[in-house]
Amino acid sequence: MSANLWFALVGAGLIALAAFTFFVQTHLLRRIFAFNIMGSGVFLIMVGMAQHLRQTDPVPQALVLTGIVVAVSATALALLIFRRFYALSAAVTLTQDNDTLGDSYEQEPRQ
Amino acid sequence: MNLIPFLLVIPLAWALISLLLPRLPIGPIALLGMLVQSLATALLWRSVQLHGAERYAIGDWMAPLGITLVADGLTVTLLAITALIAMVCAFYALFYLRSHRHEARYFWPLFWFLLASLNGIWLAGDLFNLYVGLELVTFAAVGMVILSANRQTLAAGLRYLYMALLGSIGYLLGVALLYSAYGTLDMRQLAELIEPNWTTHVAMLSISLGLLVKTAIFPFHFWLPPAHGGALAPVSALLSALVVKSSFYILARLWLDVGADVLPVITAQGFGLIGACAIFYGGFKALQQDEIKMLVAYSTVAQLGYLMLVFPLAAGTAPEHSMLAWQGGMLHVLAHALAKSAMFLSVGTLVLAVGSKKIDALAGISTRIPLSLFAFGLAGVSLMGLPPSGGFNAKWLMLQSAIGSGQWHWVVVLSLGSLLTATYIFKVFRVSFDQQAIDSGKGLVKRAPWGMELSALFLAGLAIALGFAAALPVELLSLPEVESSLMEASQ
């Protein structure tokens, strides 16, 4: 078994674990973690399986770098919205309840 | 001079201006920017119409490490509809945001970022750029959903963001597998190399699941209604008209353009089946809503289902039926974009005028605010698929394809879906034309700004006019073939 295949297998394992967590857990922070681990799994597959030319292929490396930047920004955005949501509702999970739209938002524009 | 980079540079420049110089009158400046953007789009449209598809390598870096942008017939059509709807929404927002000062500060930068990333998706020539575009669209769209920053919109925004991130992971995983199998990300090269094997199937399954989540196709639709129904009116219009179409565009490009030969008939029929479920489920849910914006949001869930019918009609059928389905599907993208943005804008005006989001509150408004209700009705005509309208032409092409290829079950779905659409549209009219409420003087409303009423009416008029001018986009859709035949001739 080559090292590259090993990378890919570990990546697939990480994705499976994280996807399980993402669907089972309701805590929003845990789901952000799960998203990040899923991302790492995909990056492992990218650097692992995509090196099929017996030499280092620069394209997957560039993709993973870009992917990491995107994942970091996504995490930052999710954390920011979560903080604000937590401050307003003191809830750490999304329930049907806090999706119900109040009748008030059109009438009470924030000045 | 190649115009392609300008379509990305203009919105990014305006985004920076509105972000860094908020003291300037960024609303009117945005309208000026939209005029420049529309001009660039129109010039590119003309040039592609005359000379065929164009390619542009950013910074002269060639693929695979460089970024190639491609403008073919489908791309310029989508660029044009994006610029058009964004311009009208910007005009509408000028009036609408007067009562939303806080939101206006961040609306404009996000609006421009959204426009830039949408254009990035339409123009992308490789799979990884599409990924970056998808993520940028998500960030801008989520930002726009949570503009009001109250508990409900934040919850809707979080739900949207989480599902969108899950979708992008699925997409990225598929792209990684495709690259490992074929060693290229360029869609044109991939179309020549791709063959039906296990890697391809797993990769395409992963990509499809990811994009279905992002497009909010049943059963992954649950994040859409709170996000689209809870956002500000111009935001809802942009999201329902353009943002969900971007991930569908990638799905359609990948299956029908790149992977046309590897799409198993059973998968295509499966796509059609979930589309049919979306049409009926979305329609029934729309009928049950008592808030007008949620009704329109569930209508989007239903209308997105029609798009999925393109796959069973286009895959594994005779070329002429396949072409009809492809044209019908893309026409439906345009018609729905115009009609749904018109509908969300007119509903935004109605809600502002009566001061409530309940459908019951619209009792008797037919005589008080007729122009917006008329715009809602015109948009409804196109959604129902009544002639003459863009929606009618789209559904007509799809019906012809279904009948021609002998797939009668899709004919039933298409017809029943239109009936269901009519039911929930008329639910609004039954309330608003309530004679008792009119006589008793109910439905006294605040005056709505003329600009808001006119914007919705303009878009609704265009949705109808598309019924007469459908030949124009349909003709452009066949341009990619022109390009490839030219390529073969030159080689």
Residue A25 belongs to a domain with what CATH number? Answer: 1.10.287.3510
A109 occurs within a structural domain: no
pLDDT above 70: residue A98: no
pLDDT above 90: residue B411: yes
Quickly count: other Cβ atoms within 10 Å of residue B20's Cβ: 10
A106 occurs within a structural domain: no
Residue A99 is predicted with a pLDDT of 47
Using an 8 Å CB-CB cutoff, list chain A residues near B356: 103, 106
Mean pLDDT of the region A84-96: 86
Mean pLDDT of the region A58-67: 88
A105 occurs within a structural domain: no
- Which of B132, B159, B168 is closest, CB to CB, to A94? B159
Which H or E run includes B216?
none
A65 occurs within a structural domain: yes
A104 occurs within a structural domain: no
Lowest mean pLDDT among A7-16, B255-264, B421-430, B472-481: B472-481
How far is it, in rounded angstroms, from Cα A22 to Cα B208? 19
Mean pLDDT of the region B236-262: 91
Omega before B11 cis (within 30°)?
Answer: no
Using an 8 Å CB-CB cutoff, list chain A residues near B291: 101
Q: Do A52 and B135 count as a contact with CB atoms less than 8 A apart?
A: no
* DSSP string computed for B322-364: HHHHHHHHHHHHHHHHHHHHHHHHHHHHHHHHHT--BSGGGTT
Select the highest-mean-pLDDT range: A81-95, B13-27, B75-89: B75-89
Nearest C-alpha of chain B: how many angstroms from A95? 9
* DSSP string computed for B88-157: HHHHHHHHHGGG-HHHHHHHHHHHHHHHHHHHHHHHB-BHHHHHHHHHHHHHHHHHHHGGG-SHHHHHHH
Using an 8 Å CB-CB cutoff, list chain B residues near A38: 166, 169
Among chain B residues, the shortest Cα distance to A57 is held by B183
Using an 8 Å CB-CB cutoff, list chain B residues near A110: 100-103, 148-149
Which tokens go with B83?
Answer: 């610029």
Q: How does residue B442 score in pLDDT terms, banded at 50, 70 and 90?
A: low
Interface test with A, best of B128, B169, B223 (most A CBs within 10 A): B169
Using an 8 Å CB-CB cutoff, list chain B residues near A44: none
Q: Do A28 and B158 count as a contact with CB atoms less than 8 A apart?
A: yes
> How many Cα neighbours within 13 Å face the side chain of B157?
29
Nearest C-alpha of chain A: how many angstroms from B100? 5
pLDDT above 80: residue A50: no
How far is it, in rounded angstroms, from Cα B282 to Cα B298? 5
Q: How does residue B85 score in pLDDT terms, banded at 50, 70 and 90?
A: very high
Residue B280 is predicted with a pLDDT of 95
Q: How many residues does chain A have?
A: 111
**Domain residue limits at A38:** 3-96
Average pLDDT over chain B, rounded to whole?
Answer: 89
H helix runs in B146-243, sequence order:
151-182, 187-193, 198-215, 224-230, 233-238
Q: How does residue B350 score in pLDDT terms, banded at 50, 70 and 90?
A: very high
Average pLDDT over chain A, rounded to whole?
Answer: 82
Q: Do B64 and A59 count as a contact with CB atoms less than 8 A apart?
A: yes
Among chain B residues, the shortest Cα distance to A5 is held by B180
Residue B488 is predicted with a pLDDT of 38
Residue A96 is predicted with a pLDDT of 63
Q: Where is pLDDT greater, at B41 or B188?
A: B41
- Which of A22, A45, A63 is closest, CB to CB, to B128? A63
CB B271 within 8 A of CB B410: no
A43 occurs within a structural domain: yes
Which tokens go with B440?
Answer: 């008793």
Residue B441 is predicted with a pLDDT of 65
Among chain B residues, the shortest Cα distance to A30 is held by B162
Nearest C-alpha of chain B: how many angstroms from A66? 8
Using an 8 Å CB-CB cutoff, list chain B residues near A100: 152
Residue B322 is predicted with a pLDDT of 87
How far is it, in rounded angstroms, from Cα B260 to Cα B258? 6
CB B244 within 8 A of CB B300: yes
* DSSP string computed for B289-329: -SBHHHHHHHHHHHHHHHHHTHHHHHSSS-HHHHHHHHHHH
pLDDT above 70: residue A81: yes
CB B157 within 8 A of CB A78: no
pLDDT above 80: residue B80: yes
How far is it, in rounded angstroms, from Cα B166 to Cα B248? 16
Give per-residue pLDDT as tens, B463-476: 999 988 888 888 77
Residue B55 is predicted with a pLDDT of 86
Nearest C-alpha of chain A: how many angstroms from B102? 6
Residues β-bridged to residue B56: B69
* DSSP string computed for A63-87: HHHHHHHHHHHHHHHHHHHHHHHHH
> Any idea what DSSP says for residue B186?
B
Residue type (1 letter), B344: F
Counting residues of chain A whose pLDDT is more than 90, the rounded percentage is 52
Residues β-bridged to residue B358: B291
Nearest C-alpha of chain B: how many angstroms from A46? 5
Domains of chain B, by residue range, sit at 308-491
Which tokens go with B477?
Answer: 């859709």
Q: Do A42 and B150 count as a contact with CB atoms less than 8 A apart?
A: no
Which tokens go with B20?
Answer: 């860094």
Using an 8 Å CB-CB cutoff, list chain B residues near A62: 65
Which H or E run includes A18?
helix A3-24
Residue type (1 letter), B201: H
Which tokens go with B187?
Answer: 């869609």
- Which of B146, B291, B356 is closest, CB to CB, to A81? B146
A67 occurs within a structural domain: yes
Residue A111 is predicted with a pLDDT of 36
How far is it, in rounded angstroms, from Cα A106 to Cα B453? 17
Residue type (1 letter), A67: G
Nearest C-alpha of chain B: how many angstroms from A1? 17
Residue B374 is predicted with a pLDDT of 93
- Which of B157, B177, B180 is closest, CB to CB, to A81? B157
Q: How many domains does chain A have?
A: 1
> Any idea what DSSP says for residue B446?
P
Give per-residue pLDDT as tens, B181-229: 888 888 888 988 988 888 899 999 999 999 999 999 989 999 999 999 9
A74 occurs within a structural domain: yes
How far is it, in rounded angstroms, from Cα A88 to Cα A99? 14
Q: Which residues contact B457 (CB under 8 A, 6 or more apart)?
A: B342, B346, B371, B372, B374, B375, B378
Among chain B residues, the shortest Cα distance to A31 is held by B162
- Which of B65, B132, B226 is closest, CB to CB, to A101? B226
- Which of A50, A73, A85 is closest, CB to CB, to B180? A50
CB B367 within 8 A of CB B471: no
Which tokens go with B166?
Answer: 């899950």
CB A56 within 8 A of CB A25: no
Lowest mean pLDDT among B76-85, B239-248, B359-368, B420-429: B359-368
Give per-residue pLDDT as tens, B268-277: 999 999 999 9
Q: Where is pLDDT greater, at B191 or B142?
A: B142
Q: Where is pLDDT greater, at B271 or B489?
A: B271
Which tokens go with B361?
Answer: 């509150």
Residue B489 is predicted with a pLDDT of 36
Using an 8 Å CB-CB cutoff, list chain B residues near A102: 150, 152
Counting residues of chain B whose pLDDT is more than 90, the rounded percentage is 61
- Which of A50, A58, A84 is closest, CB to CB, to B154? A84
Q: Which letter, b or e, does each residue of B319-358 get, where b requires 16 or more Cβ atoms within 10 Å of its Cβ?
A: eebbbbbbbbbbbbbbbbbbbbbbbbbbbbbbbbbbebbe
Q: Is the dihedral of CA A93, A94, A97, A102 positive or negative?
A: positive
> How many Cα neighbours within 13 Å face the side chain of B25?
6
